[in-house]
Amino acid sequence: MVDDHPILRESFAQLIDLEPDLRVCAQAADAHAALGEARRALPDLVVVDIELREASGLDLIKKLRALYPHLPVLALSVHDEVLYAERALRAGAAGYVMKQASLEEVLGAMRQVLGGKRYVSVKMQARMGEVRREGKHTPGAKPQVSHHAVTR
């Protein structure tokens, strides 16, 4: 769990630890600490806030993917997904979820990414589908094959 806001990071970690199938094995407030914790803890998933004080979360995602190509990363952010989800996916994130989402949605996104699938919200799936249908895609962006929202 990488977020530079301690109360948010620690509270979210406590909520995750209440789940029977999930456990937070490390926390970090910045990119440097996150890289060290990833090396030490060998997590199955990294949840990264895309806006960190000392470095870009997008840059951290790129570094994590370069060092650990099979380690899934879920981007978590307050920033509008319309503007940032595609950037996070291009950086190597397996999913993007907004901090305004319900805990259920965030946990579902985590489980989906842990299961080897990509995650974006239903709203973002629709937008990405419209872009593909209209033929407007970002040059160099990898096409997204499938996106599934998880709800209970």
The full DSSP string for 41-53 is H--S-EEEESB-S
CATH numbers and ranges of domains, the chain: 6-134 (3.40.50.2300)
In tens digits, the chain (152 residues) has pLDDT values of 999 999 999 999 999 999 999 999 999 999 999 999 999 999 999 999 999 988 899 999 999 999 999 999 999 999 888 889 999 999 999 999 999 999 999 999 999 999 999 999 877 776 665 555 565 544 444 444 344 444 33
On whether the pTM is more than 0.85, the answer is no
